[in-house]
Structure 1
Amino acid sequence: MATRAAHKRLTREYAALSRSPPEYITAHPSESNILEWHYILTGPPGTPYENGQYWGTLVFPPDYPFAPPAIRMHTPSGRFRCSERLCLSISDFHPKSFNPAWEVSTILLGVLSFMTSEEMTTGSVSASEAERKLFASRTRWWNSTGGGSTKRTLSGQPAETQAQQGGNKTGFGAIKAGDGGQRFKEQWPEVDEENWKWMESERINPQTGKSLGLHQQTTNQSGAAAANKSNTAVAGGGRETVNAVEQSWISKNKWYIVAAALFAYVLAARALGDQK
């Protein structure tokens, strides 16, 4: 339970954040526990995380601000291990280096700054720029579906049709326990609703994170390729049939052809003899 000083400090900081949130940062305390904060970092432009939606938590000690919070990021990013405590100078790994004057906004700006750097520490991972961009493109899907563990489907898209898309039913980078996105929805209901609207408009399969339209396009292309191959085979078969008929007629009438040739030769020889 938070001390009176911690409760007062965090209440004041939440009011300040609500009035003037830092760029790319949104945060609020849990309704049931003011020591548990949830944040979303939006990937800044010009970085591999651009437009990514990175959800995490800050868990403050009861005697905050005289001790730092535990910092975690739950959304796969290619930069941090999911839901593991991060070893930063502003986290509970280094309580002696924490400055009580630092506020929640200062802490989250530090997390964002560290995220966009390449410095390694406990809880961080290395990945290529392409991998991080892929993670960024799937963050909204991941947050609102629990990494594909949701049972919810898109409107107008029957579950049995979606099942035909194949793929891992637990989704890309899913939490092993898989809550179907319920925890995210509880903390960010409006953001969750926007995420589902985005999945609807982009036709993203909630169970796999893959585009349903891409699957249909691939199927159509495969069908077209098969039809072209079939047409080519038919055309080729037609030519082969004509050749076979011609060869069969010659084979059956070869002696008539030889006799006709000899007869024509004799007539030509007689005509030449008469002229002489």
Structure 2
Amino acid sequence: MATKAAHKRLTREYASLTANPIEYITAHPSESNILEWHYILTGPPNTPYHHGQYWGTLVFPPDYPFAPPAIRMHTPSGRFRPSERLCLSISDFHPKSFNPAWEVSTILLGVLSFMTSEEMTTGSVSGTDAQRKEYAGRTQWWNSTGGGSSSRTLASGQVQSSNTRGFGAIKAGDGGKRFREQWAEVDEENWKWMEERRVDPQTGRSLAPVQQEQQSACSPETAALRMRANGSNAGLGAVVEGGQAATEAGRGWLGRNWGKVVMATLFAYIIAARLLSDANA
């Protein structure tokens, strides 16, 4: 349980963060425990984490601000081991180096700064930019499905894959329950994002759009009709052009090039007649 001083301090810091948001950082205390804070870092531009949604927790000691919090990042990032305590100068690994003047905003800015560097410490991992970009593109899916362990389906009723291991063989988690409890609005935005991009909740991978699948099954004549109709004006003009496209698609090569064939035959006849005339002379 937080001391009166810690409760007062954290309440004031939350009010300050709400009134003066920090770019790329969102945070709030748990409703049931003011010592447990949840944060989301948004990957800044010009980094492999760009647009990534990185969820983590700060667990403060009862005597904060005279001791630092335990810092964890739960979302796989390619930079930190998920849910493992991070050894930073602002974390509980180094209580003697913590400055009571530092606030939640200071701590989270430090986490973001360390994340975008290449410095190694306990809880961090090495990785390539390509790997980290791939993780960044799947952070919203991972947060809201617990790494593919959610039983929720897309609103479109798309059939899901049988692969339930999740991206990178991530073990099934809580189905996104903890994230949803703390970030209900963000969670719904994530599901809308998955719906728009037709992301399989089980695997985090894109599903083939139904429209494209239907088009690929069409005959060449129907495809030609669709392409011409979509590119023309609406109404009668579209119907006429579409009909012409279907007619042209149904003709054989000879039917479409009969004029060229006649001209070539006539030209060959004239040449042959001249050669025969020269030979008789």
Superposition TM-score tier, normalisation by shorter sequence: 0.7 to 0.9
1:151-188 deviations in Å (ceiling 9; x for gaps)? 11001224xx223xx5x303115764511001100000
Counterpart in the other structure of 2:52: 52
* 2:38 partner letter: H
Is the radius of gyration larger for structure 1 or structure 2? 1
Q: 1:222 to 1:98 in 2, by over 3 A?
A: farther
Q: 1:142 to 1:223 in 2, by over 3 A?
A: farther
Counterpart in the other structure of 1:110: 110
Counterpart in the other structure of 1:202: 197
Shift of 1:218: 8.9
Q: 1:87 to 1:222 in 2, by over 3 A?
A: farther
Q: 1:221 to 1:97 in 2, by over 3 A?
A: farther
Structure-1-length-normalised TM-score: 0.75
1:55-103 deviations in Å (ceiling 9; x for gaps)? 0000000000000000000000000000000000000000000000000
Shift of 1:201: 0.4
Secondary structure of 2:156's partner?
A: coil
2:186 to 179, 183, 191: 191
* 1:124 partner letter: S
Q: % of aligned pairs identical?
A: 79
* 1:188 partner letter: W
* 2:200 partner letter: N
Q: 2-side partners of 1:135 and 1:14: how far apart?
A: 29
| 1:137 matched to 2:137 | yes
Q: 1:72 to 1:132 in 2, by over 3 A?
A: same
Q: 2-side partners of 1:207 and 1:46: how far apart?
A: 30
Q: 1-side partners of 2:131 and 2:49: how far apart?
A: 10
Aligned residue pair count: 219
Q: 1:56 to 1:148 in 2, by over 3 A?
A: same
Counterpart in the other structure of 1:96: 96
* 1:212 partner letter: L
Spell out structure 1 runs of 4+ moving beyond 3 A: 173-177, 214-224
Q: 2-side partners of 1:109 and 1:37: how far apart?
A: 15
* 1:121 partner letter: T
Shift of 1:19: 0.5
- Alignment RMSD: 2.1
Counterpart in the other structure of 1:162: 160
1:217-251 deviations in Å (ceiling 9; x for gaps)? 69987999xxxxxxxxxxxxxxxxxxxxxxxxxxx
Q: 2-side partners of 1:135 and 1:218: how far apart?
A: 28
Structure-2-length-normalised TM-score: 0.74
* 2:45 partner letter: P
Q: 1:108 to 1:215 in 2, by over 3 A?
A: farther
Secondary structure of 1:38's partner?
A: strand
1:220-231 equivalences in 2 (<5 Å):
none
1:67-106 equivalences in 2 (<5 Å):
67-106=67-106
Q: 2-side partners of 1:47 and 1:177: how far apart?
A: 28
Q: 2-side partners of 1:81 and 1:144: how far apart?
A: 19
Q: 2-side partners of 1:209 and 1:173: how far apart?
A: 10
* 1:200 partner letter: E
Counterpart in the other structure of 2:121: 121
